[in-house]
Structure 1
Amino acid sequence: MFIETPQVTRRAVVGAAWSAPLVAALVAVPATASSTPETGFACLGDSLTADGGFGDVVADAFGWQHANLGVSGQTSTEVAFRFGALPLAVTVDGMRMPGSGPVVVDTLDPATSYRAGGATSKPFRYDAELMGIPGTFTEDASHDPPRLSFTRTDAGDAVAVPDGSTLRGTQGDAYRSDPITIWVGRNNIAAQADVLRDIDAIVASLAPKNSRFLVFSVTNSQHEPSGSVGYGQIAATNAAIEAKYPGNYLDVRRYLIDHGLAQAGLTPTAADLAAISEDRVPPQLHRDVIHFTDEAQKVIGHYATVVMLAKRWKLR
């Protein structure tokens, strides 16, 4: 389901503010709009996505089912792996997968941007395949460092696992043909090459001819004003993303700085004006130095919705 809005063009909605009545008119999708899990809408990313608000706005506007694939604290590499876009070459304990039960994963590659070779601060469990055998990839945080392991879904004969065997996440398999937002890089912004590699891998993993994806810009924190090292890293990464995906890049950072307060109905404070002068998102739109308020999430959702409508996105 989509709305004919011939008066709205990409030039009119990208980088420009719009009135509340215009947004309301654009997102007024009939209540009969519906989808199935196979034809829904996915948001892929880290904690900025896990917060969920912007995806709910988009899904409500189109009548789509929303799959929030955000996991707090993850780097772009971890996101790309669990989505199935970046398979890992691994070695396992004893070079053997038992007939049942877990096998310890000793090493993985690429390990750069996979936080200290795979260790994360939180336990996790993802559907995955090792050498094509379905199972679960798990981090056991009771160990120091945390222990990575793979457990096959169905018992069977023990299998030899040569060094460098492929471990692939399968979370994204159900969403490769669906509209999707990709918001990664905040947690490993210093590794620009890895961030760009991971975004490329995610896009390449989508179904052929699925051009219904938006790559969101990386946003700077309240501690990263213009001129800082972090700001420079973010600016360079965003420029590279925009150059690679000019028709699929959504500069939420720029929009929040230029129009976020007005769209949220907030009056700028002195702190907001100081932030804007340093090319930071106004602090009224942040709930901490990195993450956004519910109001800011709604602004992002409306911005993404209008751009999707201008692109004539619809469920297939």
Structure 2
Amino acid sequence: MGRKYFILVMILAVSLFSGCQRAGLKTKDIVLKNDASGSKESSSQGEIEQEKQPESGNVTEQPLSQETVPQPSAEQGQNEPLPSQGIERVVCWGDSLTFGQGGEGVTFPSVLGELLPGVPVINYGIQGETARQIAIRTGALPMTASTFMVPADCTPVQMYLWQNGEDPIMLRMGDAGINPCTIGGVQGILSYNPDEIKYYFTRTVPGEAVVVEDNTQIITYGDQDKRSSDVVVLFAGTNRAPDKNTVQELIDTEKQMLEHIGSDRYVIIGLTSKELVPDVVEINEALSQAFGEHFLDIRSYFLENGLKDAGITASDQDAADMSQGEIPSSLRVDVVHGNSVFYRLLGNQVYEKFRELGYISP
């Protein structure tokens, strides 16, 4: 009788063990399938992820004078970096054309993120900014503060910004590449109150009160985070655009940015709108001479191949646009800003320029 019970117990134990194994395999299969489908969906949409910040730079919960200022974003795919790409990170500095105005969520940095899976692509585009303002955000043109007291707590305090003796007109449309910044050794957030027409500084964590001396340089986030290994894309000059006689100012400013960032791997994107920039042809020729193989003449590409590569048949308006040297209306939402097709084509062309320059393998 005891022997029968022993055999019965052994049979039950084996059955339970096998059932657990089968259940475990099924659970694992479900997890893997969910992970795979989620990863595929993220990759196809070019998911945008926030660039990792130092712990002290996590300022989204700190009180500001008006509203919480968004952090710089990293736009990237979901796969691991491919060794053949040879790119650790891409940083794109610019204005609304880098920000992606008119693209309904599509930006050329986001397209680069899709084409370079696993490589962080940072979009430091702010609408309406001039080349000078972009250079200030990079740290190439120093921005300073007048004397003020940073309190021990995280209360916003009014202060003044200066660059070359005047208000640089910052933070009107965003803070990408500025925050979190450091002033007098204190990390915090710069903000602008348009109703009061005043700048404020809010430290990120409490500490000792600090007196900031006059003419103290503000170290922007982009300046602190720059890396000589970055591949840099500069798209500047549309706002307060130069003419053929003043284009050297734009060239000098972009060279200052590149020298300050310290990377020898870069792309300079040319200007696009003939209506907004009447001397656009001469300006792009000057940029081409100054930057050589690093220059991307995106305007000529849009005029010659944009519609074809997009699979769009030219309308009568497109034909009229191109006859006058304007990018076809089918690729634009207004005189200067592109639509989603425009930004996707632009991202593809920047990627091809990376390939041409040897930053990624053919």
Q: Scaled by the length of structure 2, what TM-score is found?
A: 0.65
Counterpart Cα distance in 2 of 1:198 and 1:130: 24
Counterpart Cα distance in 1 of 2:312 and 2:146: 53
Letter in 2 for 1:62: L
Counterpart Cα distance in 2 of 1:201 and 1:132: 25
Counterpart Cα distance in 2 of 1:240 and 1:149: 40
Residue matched to 2:110? 56
Find the partner of 1:231 among 278, 290, 293: 278
RMSD: 2.9
What is the CA deviation profile of residues 105-128 of structure 1, one whole-angstrom value per residue up to 9, with x for unaligned ones? 33411367xxx6426644647222
Structure 2 contact 81–116 (Cα < 8 Å) conserved: yes
- The answer as to 2:221 corresponding to 1:170 is yes
Counterpart Cα distance in 2 of 1:246 and 1:49: 22
Find the partner of 1:131 among 175, 179, 184: 184
- The structural deviation recorded for 1:71 is 1.7
- The answer as to 2:239 corresponding to 1:184 is no
Residue matched to 1:33? 81
Letter in 2 for 1:118: I
Bigger drift between 45-54 and 125-134 goes to 125-134
The 1:88–1:262 alpha-carbon spacing in structure 2 relative to 1, beyond 3 Å, is same
Letter in 2 for 1:202: M
Counterpart Cα distance in 1 of 2:302 and 2:164: 34
What is the CA deviation profile of residues 249-274 of structure 1, one whole-angstrom value per residue up to 9, with x for unaligned ones? 11111111121111111112222222
- The structural deviation recorded for 1:175 is 4.6
Find the partner of 2:332 among 266, 269, 286: 286
Letter in 2 for 1:54: F
Residue matched to 1:88? 143
- The structural deviation recorded for 1:216 is 0.5
Report the number of matched residues.
268
Counterpart Cα distance in 2 of 1:139 and 1:192: 31
Letter in 1 for 2:322: I
Counterpart Cα distance in 2 of 1:246 and 1:131: 40
Unaligned runs of 5+ in 2: 1-78, 101-105
Residue matched to 2:346? 300
Residue matched to 1:10? none
Residue matched to 1:266? 312
Give matches, 1:208-219, under 5 Å. 210-219=263-272
Residue matched to 1:148? 199
Find the partner of 1:201 among 250, 256, 264: 256
The 1:158–1:32 alpha-carbon spacing in structure 2 relative to 1, beyond 3 Å, is closer
Counterpart Cα distance in 2 of 1:275 and 1:111: 42
Residue matched to 2:298? 252
User: SS of the residue aligned with 2:180?
Assistant: strand
Counterpart Cα distance in 2 of 1:272 and 1:312: 34
Letter in 2 for 1:46: D
- The structural deviation recorded for 1:239 is 3.4
User: SS of the residue aligned with 1:139?
Assistant: strand
Q: Scaled by the length of structure 1, what TM-score is found?
A: 0.74
- The answer as to 2:138 corresponding to 1:77 is no
Which structure would you say has the larger Rg?
A: 2
Structure 2 contact 138–261 (Cα < 8 Å) conserved: no
Structure 2 contact 321–327 (Cα < 8 Å) conserved: yes
Give matches, 1:92-131, under 5 Å. 92=147, 95-100=148-153, 101-110=155-164, 117-118=168-169, 121-122=172-173, 124=175, 126-131=179-184
The structure, 1 or 2, with the larger RCO (C-alpha pairs under 8 Å, 6+ apart) is 1
The 1:149–1:61 alpha-carbon spacing in structure 2 relative to 1, beyond 3 Å, is same
Identity %: 22
